[in-house]
């Protein structure tokens, strides 16, 4: 099969732990042919959704890890699978890419995750569909609403809707210190919508990344544990990643959501759980394949490939 990976520049990959690279490696080892392009290389040309792409070979360790062929223009429908792995932020150009990919789907392309499903699922706001599974949550642009929420819950976390990697996450305790300043700065004086949640002390045991693949649940999570005085467990913010089996409550939540999200075209999902609460549903380019595999022995990339091959046969 021919797999096209739409991703960030290969030179930017963190080779030791990149999930997209893990996918590429296992697909190549299984005999599939790899192709690569960036989202900027997607085109609508001659009434076809196309990509100016290059063949890709993953080299053995100890050398430059990839080799690219000459640029070719191919219709997206000519690939066995198109894998959208561009990292957030979900800005207007990311949105434009999903529209081009939707045009490709109409022409028969098999895109994972489905572009319409990505557009319909804000990684933070999508949790509001499952109110029984989330902590007390407020979404607003109004300082007065945040102040009222703080009076009710005392200890809260404030974050922008378009943040990633823990960027822009603030905790405000019972004293309310700097609450107005934080909201005004993060919300750009009411121009940006914020999400506010009750602080969950369970964060001390980690912000768990649970992977859902093809409607099935990976049995190990990566607990991203805050270090020192940090409240953020995100690896990008210095959190320590520890793989561990899912608890019974985490498994129940994941097994409930997995088939629902998969049916909508969200083949690969990264649930973020604190305790048994869902805090985000990541659908753009979920990670943590390598960390879970290395620490638990469960081969996440192989699990992903097996599920992908099964999905392609059934389409």
List of domains in the chain = 2-115 (3.40.50.20), 136-199 (3.30.1490.20), 202-314 (3.30.470.20)
State the Cα–Cα distance between residues 224 and 195, nearest whole angstrom.
Answer: 21
State the Cα–Cα distance between residues 94 and 30, nearest whole angstrom.
Answer: 30
HSE (side-chain half, CA atoms, 13 Å) at 122:
15
pLDDT profile of the chain (315 residues), mean per 10: 98 94 98 98 98 96 86 98 92 95 98 97 94 97 97 96 78 95 94 95 93 98 83 65 96 98 98 94 96 98 98 89
Give me Rg for the CA atoms of the chain: 20
pLDDT for 314 equals 85
pLDDT for 27 equals 98
State the Cα–Cα distance between residues 39 and 231, nearest whole angstrom.
Answer: 34
Residues with a catalytic annotation lie at: 124, 159, 209, 224, 232, 272, 280, 282
pTM exceeds 0.95, yes or no = no
HSE (side-chain half, CA atoms, 13 Å) at 56:
25
> Which region holds residue 242: left if phi is over 0, alpha if psi is between -120 and 50, else beta?
beta
Question: Whole-angstrom distance between the N-terminal and C-terminal Cα of the chain?
Answer: 14
**In contact, 250 and 273? CB cutoff 8 Å:** yes
**In contact, 101 and 111? CB cutoff 8 Å:** yes
């Amino acid at each position: 099969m021919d797999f096209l990976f739409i991703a960030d520049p290969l030179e930017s990959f963190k080779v030791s732990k990149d999930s997209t690279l893990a996918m590429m490696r296992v697909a190549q080892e299984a005999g599939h042919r790899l192709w690569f392009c960036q989202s900027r290389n997607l085109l609508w040309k001659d009434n076809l959704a196309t990509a100016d792409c290059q063949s890709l070979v993953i080299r053995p360790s100890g050398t430059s890890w990839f080799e690219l062929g000459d640029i070719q223009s191919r219709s997206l429908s000519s690939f066995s699978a198109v894998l959208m792995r561009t990292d957030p932020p979900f800005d207007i150009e990311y949105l434009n890419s999903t529209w081009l990919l939707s045009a490709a789907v109409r022409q028969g392309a098999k895109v994972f995750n489905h572009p319409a499903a990505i557009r319909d699922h804000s990684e933070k706001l999508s949790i509001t569909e499952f109110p029984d599974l989330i902590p007390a949550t407020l979404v607003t642009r109004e300082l007065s609403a945040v102040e009222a929420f703080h009076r009710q819950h005392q200890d809260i976390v404030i974050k922008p809707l378009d943040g990633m990697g823990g960027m822009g996450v603030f905790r405000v305790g019972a004293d309310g210190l700097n609450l107005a300043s934080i909201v005004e700065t993060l919300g750009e004086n009411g121009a940006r919508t914020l999400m506010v949640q009750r602080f969950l002390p369970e964060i001390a045991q980690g912000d768990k990344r649970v992977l859902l693949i093809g409607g099935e649940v990976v049995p190990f999570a990566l607990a991203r544990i805050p270090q020192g005085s940090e409240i953020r467990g995100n690896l990008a913010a210095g959190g320590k990643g520890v793989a561990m089996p899912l608890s019974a409550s985490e498994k129940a939540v994941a097994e409930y959501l997995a088939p629902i999200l998969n049916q909508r075209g969200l083949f690969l999902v990264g649930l973020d759980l604190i305790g048994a609460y869902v805090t985000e549903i990541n659908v753009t380019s979920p990670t943590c394949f390598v960390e879970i595999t290395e620490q638990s022995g469960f081969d996440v990339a192989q699990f992903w490939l097996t599920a992908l091959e099964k999905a392609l046969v059934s389409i």
